[in-house]
Amino acid sequence: MNKRIYWIEGDGIGPEIWKAARPVIEAALAAENTGINLEWTELLAGDKAVKETGSPLPEETMQTLRTAELAMKGPLGTPVGTGIRSLNVALRQGLDLYACIRPVRHFEGLETPVKHPERVNMVIFRENTEDVYAGVEFAAGTPEARKLITFLREELGVNKVGDAAAVGIKPMTEAGSKRLVRRALRFALDQKQQSLTLVHKGNIMKFTEGAFRQWGYDVAAQEFGDLTCTEKEPVAGRLVVKDRIADAMFQEALLRPEQYQILATPNLNGDYISDALAAQVGGLGLAPGVNMSDTLAFYEATHGTAPTIAGKDKANPGSVILCGALMLEHIGVPKAAERIRNAVSKAIAAKAVTEDLAAQVPGSRTVGCVEFGDIIGANL
């Protein structure tokens, strides 16, 4: 059986981490003798697309992905303050990849900023298409901003916004929130987890993030009522659905991480908490992620393009390799996925790691991107 995987090389360190990661993914699958073959088809986006087509995100790429089931990509650059808002956001919104799913766990041997990183073992489900990432904002002093400010004052009686303000809108819908929490609930139940936590700032943003919290509880009660319970009314053997205010959750993640397994969050909260948790266990270099619609699973490295080390054989291919493990799990080969995770663990235990990890592995030997990929491959 063949599985077609569309892949985007990425900017900066993208080309070199792909060269190191892809052989590992293929070897892990081959070791299981499943009869599944991966067919890789490249699509263009980012700097490579600009050079070949003049566009950072060609319509041909989007059209292909709209009918795809599996895709992977390296990091894509995002200009700050000018140009296209974000290629990553454009892909997520254009393909309705509404669930950003990031598992966070510690690999033994990595020193981290906390005493017990091994207590962190969470999966974050981040809503991916709404919230401030919808991109509805207007620069200070523009006619659009002034018009919106005037509307707020004259039509809605909102007098707290100054004339010189930049303004943005934070849309959050019941449908968007519920489908994210629904997916998180199904995952938590399938994995026989203890709890799911809704992370929000509903004490201040009562009608957006507060609504996210309520819609989360509603979908749990209405669609999974015989399988879930609340923290206030626990039932033995059921998944506990609870909620935490975002700033409190950051404290909990440091003080009592073992009490949390699955987090479901609005877009911005999820962006913050997933990176913060990754830092607790060793950084983004070993942090995989997937963006999912109802039909497409799009795996991506969670780190950036790292242009200062691009082409120097210093990059860490671990995030893309572990994305491959997530993808293999998704297509029904969990043993191949576990092979990859064990192989990464062995590489760290052997203290032969890339530059970004070397400072966290006492007594380690620094190796290049290619060699690190070879070491992980040999450990399969």
Q: Which one of the listed residues 201, 260, 314, 356 is annotated catalytic?
A: 201
Q: Catalytic annotation on 247?
A: yes
Dihedral (Cα; 71, 104, 293, 15), 10-degree rounding: -20
Structure tokens at 123: 């999966």
Which of 127, 130, 213 lies closest to 170 in space, CA to CA? Answer: 130
Is 316 labelled as part of a ligand binding site? Answer: yes
Q: Which one of the listed residues 98, 133, 260, 299 is annotated catalytic?
A: 133
* Helix/strand/coil for 35: coil
Is 195 labelled as part of a ligand binding site? Answer: no
Q: Which one of the listed residues 11, 131, 243, 271 is annotated catalytic?
A: 271
Is 203 labelled as part of a ligand binding site? Answer: no
Is 2 labelled as part of a ligand binding site? Answer: no
Is 102 labelled as part of a ligand binding site? Answer: yes
Is 126 labelled as part of a ligand binding site? Answer: yes
Q: How far apart are the first and last CA of the chain?
A: 22
Q: Are 57 and 90 in contact (CB under 8 A)?
A: yes
Is 182 labelled as part of a ligand binding site? Answer: no
Return the exposure string of 140-163: e unless at least 16 CB atoms fall within 10 Å of the residue's CB, then b.
eeeeebbebbeeeeeeeeeeeeee
Q: Catalytic annotation on 201?
A: yes
* Helix/strand/coil for 8: strand
Which of 360, 362, 367, 304 lies closest to 106 in space, CA to CA? Answer: 360
**How far, in Å, CA of 27 to CA of 328, rounded?**
12
**How far, in Å, CA of 328 to CA of 21, rounded?**
13
> How many other C-beta atoms lie within 10 A of the C-beta of residue 30?
14
Q: Which one of the listed residues 247, 294, 312, 335 is annotated catalytic?
A: 247
In angstroms, what CA-CA distances link 286 with 123, 258, 279, 289, 348? 14, 20, 10, 10, 11
Q: What is the DSSP letter of 48?
A: H
Q: Are 361 and 62 in contact (CB under 8 A)?
A: no
Per the annotation, where are the binding residues for Mg(2+)? Answer: 271
Active site residues: 133, 201, 247, 271
Per the annotation, where are the binding residues? Answer: 86, 88, 92, 102, 126, 271, 316
